[in-house]
Chain A
Amino acid sequence: KAGVTQTPRYLIKTRGQQVTLSCSPISGHRSVSWYQQTPGQGLQFLFEYFSETQRNKGNFPGRFSGRQFSNSRSEMNVSTLELGDSALYLCASSLWGTGGANPNTIYFGEGSWLTVV
């Protein structure tokens, strides 16, 4: 079966702009979680969506937002970009969620590399 697809893979934005990243989960998976990965902070949880509802949110400012569509595809948006937002943004797909689920059913995408200049 097809894996988790994230687009775009690489992008460069200017400070103050906004960006939208997309994640298509594995067919049948209803949960999509987003993580930010930076060298200094590691992998940090942004938010999780299940059946179009945000179930949990990490400690990120309101500039970070997301949504999930009826086909389970998810988007995340970052507005008013800052240099510190440069990171690899990873999407994780699972049937029930990345918290309580058996982690061998969690699949990560290759990520979207965002560079803010």
Chain B
Amino acid sequence: GQSLEQPSEVTAVEGAIVQINCTYQTSGFYGLSWYQQHDGGAPTFLSYNALDGLEETGRFSSFLSRSDSYGYLLLQELQMKDSASYFCAVGPSNQGGKLIFGQGTELSVKP
């Protein structure tokens, strides 16, 4: 089947850098995306990798390696407001209109 694995929780301090990994067992997908969700609210888009390599968007960067079935989200200069759940997701190329999500990583940023 298709699945994505992420650590369940990560803790870091303000100002630090944290990396959230996502390993997957799926083939034929359009790209790897990352979403942020605060306290069960609306997931919001953070970053997307259609191709292998690094994508940078402000304090957030994301990386994809299809050969290693691996990606990560890098958050720099952590702020308290970054405390949230982070999900990786893929859109299978043979199942249009569908996203498969990882279980999510709860990030706690401490002062």
- Please list the residues of chain A having a beta carbon within 8 angstroms of any beta carbon in chain B: 3-4, 31, 33, 35, 37, 42-45, 48, 50, 55-56, 58, 88, 90, 92, 97-104, 106-111, 113
Contact = CB atoms under 8 A, between A and B. Distances in A.
A56 B103 contact: no
A55 B96 contact: yes
30 contacts: A4-B42, A33-B97, A35-B101, A42-B87, A42-B101, A43-B89, A43-B99, A44-B101, A48-B96, A55-B97, A56-B96, A56-B97, A56-B98, A58-B98, A90-B43, A92-B99, A98-B91, A98-B98, A100-B96, A101-B91, A102-B50, A103-B48, A103-B99, A106-B45, A108-B35, A108-B42, A108-B43, A109-B42, A111-B41, A111-B42
A10 B44 CA distance: 20
B95 interface: yes
B88 to A, nearest CB: 11
Q: Which 9 A-B pairs have the closest CB atoms?
A: A48-B97, A103-B33, A99-B91, A97-B97, A43-B101, A99-B96, A108-B42, A42-B103, A56-B97
Contacts of B30: 99-100
Q: Which of A4, A50, A99, A101 has the most CB of B within 10 A?
A: A99
Contact of B92 (A92, A99, A106, A111): A99
Contacts of B71: none
B40 interface: yes
Given A45-B99, A56-B98, A103 B91 contact: yes
A104 B45 contact: yes
A103 B100 CA distance: 12
Contacts of A107: 42
Given A99-B30, A100-B30, A111-B40, A45 B98 contact: yes
B95 A56 contact: yes
B19 interface: no
A109 to B, nearest CB: 6
